[in-house]
Amino acid sequence: MTANTASLQPRRGRNLTTELTRCPNRIEEAQRLRYRVFSEEYGSDLGATTPGIDADAYDAVCDHLIVTDTATGELVATTRILHEDDTGPVGGFYSRGEFELEALGSLSGKLAELGRTCVHPDYRNGGTITLLWSAVADYLVQRDVTHLIGCASISMADGGAKAWHVARLLQQQYLCDPDCRVMPKRQLPHLAHPESERAVDIPPLIRAYMRLGAKVCGEPCWDPEFRCADMLVLLEVSNLAGRYNRHFMRRAG
């Protein structure tokens, strides 16, 4: 753990507690939860080299936020944060593999990337997400981050119809300013562009981003390994601080 993050204090709610860690054993627990959630939801083996574990080179340079049920000891939610000052060993952010990020170079201040966020199906409620975002907010403030980016994933298990409709809705309602728009390196397959209209159910973690004032940065990228569509999301930390109390702290009471 870096000196800048060592002072973060655990947060608790009901039987849940958060922890910021770089402990290999705790990270492996998070990787196992990630594999379980992502493999079930996206119908992919994630290209795993070790059965049951979702891991990549970025895990070693990220700070990992985990949520644990203290009654059972089970790790029930996780996300990882990569600060721009820590990207040297991996050559940049994870999302650079999916998007042309040059437009984000005009942003002032420090940038960090949120990734691999997942919550155990039994704990997908406002309280768990509140706790996770609370710890994320603490981290961003303490490390002087001004903007947060992340790849928000939408399953393509149905062939891509849901992903295409969700992406279109997000672009219509939450599109960022032109100077921050990025281009995907792999566009969605043509067959994922349905003509008919349908009801749109935005995934809960993406809804959480949008409630906090996040914007999407253009077209989605196709991730064939995860069998999903990724939207690059951009969030101003000052906007997060302003909206956090209104949208999340009220639920935690």
CATH number of the domain residue 79 falls in: 3.40.630.30
CA-to-CA distance for 165 and 170, rounded, in angstroms?
9
In a domain, 156, yes or no: yes
pLDDT single digits (tens) 84-126: 999 999 999 999 999 999 999 989 999 999 999 999 999 988 7
In a domain, 122, yes or no: yes
Nearest to 187 by CA among 226, 162, 223: 223
pLDDT single digits (tens) 39-67: 888 777 777 788 899 999 999 999 999 99
In a domain, 228, yes or no: yes
In a domain, 5, yes or no: no
- Residue 191 pLDDT: 60
> What are the C-alpha distances in Å from 206 to residues 88, 115, 202?
28, 12, 7
In a domain, 88, yes or no: yes
In a domain, 113, yes or no: yes
With tokens 């290209």, the residue in question is 47
In a domain, 83, yes or no: yes
- Residue 7 pLDDT: 40
pLDDT single digits (tens) 234-244: 999 987 755 55
What's the pTM? 0.87
Nearest to 112 by CA among 137, 77, 132, 89: 137
In a domain, 214, yes or no: yes
pLDDT single digits (tens) 195-222: 666 677 888 888 888 888 899 999 999 9
Q: Are 107 and 69 in contact (CB under 8 A)?
A: no
The domain of 236 spans 12-252
> How many structural domains does the chain have?
1
Q: Which two tokens stand for residue 32?
A: 């196992």
